[in-house]
Amino acid sequence: MPNAYNHRGFAYEKLGNYQRAIENYEEAIRLDPNYTTAKRNLESILRRR
């Protein structure tokens, strides 16, 4: 399930909807705190803000 949130976050990111992307990456991490891909994706957005 965390994978689905990560993929949805990535889709939102590509659409430029960064807030929704962040929310989905955070949910993926909440479901699996060791999910490094979602963590990297979230960090990438937060660095650009």
Contacts of 38 (CB under 8 A, 6+ apart): 2, 5, 6, 9, 25, 28, 29, 32
Q: Are residues 7 and 16 in contact, defined by beta-carbon separation less than 8 angstroms?
A: no
pTM: 0.95
Q: What is the pLDDT of residue 49?
A: 82
Q: What is the pLDDT of residue 30?
A: 99
N- to C-terminal Cα distance for the chain?
Answer: 27
CATH number at residue 16: 1.25.40.10
C-alpha angle with apex 49: 40 to 1, nearest 5 degrees?
35
Q: What is the pLDDT of residue 31?
A: 99
Report d(CA 49, CA 31) in Å as an integer: 24
Provide the number of structural domains found in the chain: 1
Q: What is the pLDDT of residue 28?
A: 99
Q: What is the pLDDT of residue 46?
A: 98
What is the residue range of 34's domain? Answer: 2-48
Express each pLDDT in 4-39 by its tens digit.
Answer: 999 999 999 999 999 999 999 999 999 999 999 999
